[in-house]
Amino acid sequence: MFDWANWFRSHLQASGEGLVWAFARIDPRYHLSLPPAPPSLGEWSPARHVWHVTGYERWIALPSMCQWLGGPLPDGNAWPNDDAAWSQAQDAGCQSLTAAFQEIRQQQIDLLDQLSAVDWDEPHETLWGDKPLSMVVTKTYQHTLEHCNTLLRMGLWWEDIERRQSAGAV
């Protein structure tokens, strides 16, 4: 039988560190700015990506994991993932945003010890239909990598795109 809890312990840790590292690769003066050329770098500021992943994990991922320990189905509509909520959240500062992400990610990693004894292949009712815990936690991992990819693109290309735009090349 595959040791899902152990696999996810290392991969959630590494992907969480990767997200924070990718965010740190972006010049801090850009953290709250919309990127240039939205099709290539996305339409959100780097800080909003970190806030969004944190919100997903707080309102969806962690409660979904808790279902296997007897918790209720999360309310997918309770997650304040809109422009108004972001407008208020960004005032907290970027260090606060990354600390909040690290805290909620660590709670999930810590929960894996309790989840090691459950059947990771048994479907339960979830926000995505009847799915196993392995899918629910894989979704968290995938979501982190998706946003990490965008942050890495920002860190690699933001300044080059700005220079090309300034020179009239884009």
pLDDT value of residue 170: 61
pLDDT value of residue 99: 98
Q: CA 26 to CA 129: how far, in whole Å?
A: 37
Torsion angle in degrees (nearest 10) through CA of 116, 118, 122, 124 = -110
Any domain includes 161: no
Any domain includes 142: yes
φ and ψ at residue 30, rounded to 5 degrees: -100, -10
pLDDT digits 0-9 by tens, 134-147: 999 999 999 999 99
Any domain includes 136: yes
Number of separate domains in the chain: 1
The residue range of the domain holding 144 is 1-8+45-71+93-156
Helix, strand, coil percent content, the chain, rounded in steps of 5 = 70, 5, 25
pLDDT band at residue 7, thresholds of 50, 70 and 90? very high
pLDDT digits 0-9 by tens, 20-34: 999 999 999 999 999
Any domain includes 83: no
Any domain includes 33: no
pTM: 0.95
pLDDT value of residue 1: 76
